[in-house]
Amino acid sequence: MNKKQILSLFYGLSAIYFIAEVIDLNLIENIARVSIPIVVFLFYYFFSPRHHIIPCAILATGLIGDIFLLWHSSTAAKIFLSVFGINHIIYIYVCFSAINNLDLKKLIFSAIPVIILWFIYFNYSIKDIFGGQMGDLYPFIIVYSVILSLFTIFSLVNFFNNEEKVNLYLVIIALCYLVVEIIMAIDNFVSEMFIFDLTKVVARVVGYFFLMRFVTTFKFRFKRLY
């Protein structure tokens, strides 16, 4: 397959995903949603000059998380929150490693405990509003939201440290995850809104598009697979 064919497949699946959401075809929507990260992996496999363990781990955890999102159960929710948490920790590691300013790295490292405590306190206040609805998912949601917040912060710090286009991709990916998770929280704990569901689809597609760009253009300084 050439690059044009894989991109056409990506755009086609994205359109099917969006249309299936609009007309409420759950099976088609789920198939398209899980197929998109597979296409992203194919794009990386065929068109990245070198294959590294880190992008493969990012792509694998993203796919596994999306698969477990298909099941609406407490156990599945715990698994996808855990898998996506690992996914975002890998992103944080990539962002931190990409920062060239040693003093900035020291500052970030010393500030991490304060940042984590602040986000725990911030998210703990959510318990007063949605605690009963979260049930035994509450600790998983708290930890995941802290990790996602750190991913967003680290991606922004990395970009402002080095304003290359590839670092902007990381910011966009983080913001897309943030949008999706906020909308999922509204759907699960407040009420479902059609426009929000469409926004969630668009955010997922945009996130995967820039992930596709990121894994094939970022200069990974990590172990090569082959």
Write down the pLDDT at residue 226: 43
Q: What is the pLDDT of residues 75-85, one digit of tens each?
A: 888 899 999 99
Question: Hey, what long-range contacts does 71-76 have (CB within 8 A, 24 or more apart)?
Answer: 74/135, 74/136, 74/137
Give the pLDDT confidence score for residue 69 in this predicted structure.
85
DSSP string of 65-107, one letter each residue: HHHHTTS-SHHHHHHHHHHHHHHHHHHHHHHHHH---HHHHHH
pLDDT computed for residue 43 by the predictor: 93
Question: How many CB atoms lie under 10 A from the CB of residue 167?
Answer: 21
Q: What is the mean pLDDT of residues 81-100?
A: 91
List, for residues 6-28, the tens digit of each pLDDT value.
Answer: 999 999 999 999 999 989 888 89
pTM here is 0.86
With a pLDDT cut of 70, the percent of the chain lying above it is: 82
Q: Whose CA is closest to 88, among 221, 217, 225, 211?
A: 211
What distance separates the 2 farthest-apart alpha carbons in the chain? 52
pLDDT of residue 101: 75
- pLDDT computed for residue 146 by the predictor: 84
Give percent above pLDDT 90 in the chain: 38
**What's the pLDDT score for residue 202?**
93
The tens digit of pLDDT for each residue in 188-209 reads: 666 667 788 888 999 999 999 9
